[in-house]
Amino acid sequence: MQKRISDDELILIKNTKAHTSRSLHDALCVVKGALESKSVVPGDGAVEAALLIYLENYATSMGSCEQLAIAEFARSLSYSKYLSSKCCPGCHRSCCKLRAFHNEAHVNPECKHLTWIGLDLINGKPRDNKQAGVFEPTVVKVKSLKFATEAAITMLRIDYLIKFHSESKDDRGGCYEDAVHSGALEN
């Protein structure tokens, strides 16, 4: 129910369910984020698909073990398996089409308009998000990619420490404290 109670613009919603209130709060946070960042990017997976294609191509230009890490990070951006199991039956095919659109935009300068293509999750088909008006605040996308990268780095560090710790016990028969007491760490 909307009611005019002042000369300023105000939306007052009474007697809402908890999920309605959360949805409205989320929508207002998106508007706030867009106003704060002063820029938007296409939504519905368009950024992830473009970044996936870019990183896969960049990984092939590398000639070392870094290539594997970059390729795996790129693969983690592909959410086609998740969508195909959670959304519509044709989403896996649509994700493949989405990748094809973004690959074409990456290799063919005449097809740059394809970078706006994302997935319409209601119909399960790729669509032009610029034309459909589907955008996300840039700051939200950047933060989510930073958090995902930091989480991946943290997991790699933990994996490395566990591996290093188990190897050091096997090789030297001890831990850091044993190395300090034996003088193995002194110059």
Pairing between strand 125-128 and 117-120? antiparallel
Question: How large a percentage of the chain has pLDDT more than 70?
Answer: 72
- The residue with greater pLDDT, 37 or 4, is 37
**Containing H/E element for 173?**
none
**What is the biggest distance separating any 2 CA atoms in the chain, rounded to whole angstroms?**
79
Torsional class of 108: left (φ above 0), alpha (ψ -120 to 50), beta (otherwise)? beta
At 110-120, the pLDDT tens digits run 988 888 998 88
Query: Span 157-174, mean pLDDT?
Result: 65
**Containing H/E element for 178?**
helix 176-182
Question: Would the pLDDT of 16 be above 80?
Answer: no
Other Cβ atoms within 10 Å of 58 Cβ, number:
13
Rounded Cα distance, 156 and 149, in Å: 11
Query: What pTM value is reported for the model?
Result: 0.66
**Containing H/E element for 179?**
helix 176-182
Average pLDDT taken over every residue of the chain: 77
Q: What integer pLDDT is reported at residue 187 of this predicted model? A: 45
The tokens describing 39, both together, are 């820029």
The tokens describing 42, both together, are 């296409």
Q: What integer pLDDT is reported at residue 89 of this predicted model? A: 63
96 touches 84 (CB < 8 A):
no
179 touches 172 (CB < 8 A):
yes
Rounded Cα distance, 102 and 41, in Å: 15
Name, of 67-71, 130-134, 140-144, 167-171, the range with top average pLDDT.
130-134
At 39-52, the pLDDT tens digits run 889 888 888 888 88
Q: Determine the topology of domain 42-137 in CATH.
A: GROEL; domain 1 (1.10.560)
* Least confident among 94-103, 135-144, 172-181: 172-181
Across 104-130, b (16+ Cβ under 10 Å) vs e yields bbbeeeeeeebbbbbbbbeebebbbbe
Domain boundaries, the chain: 42-137
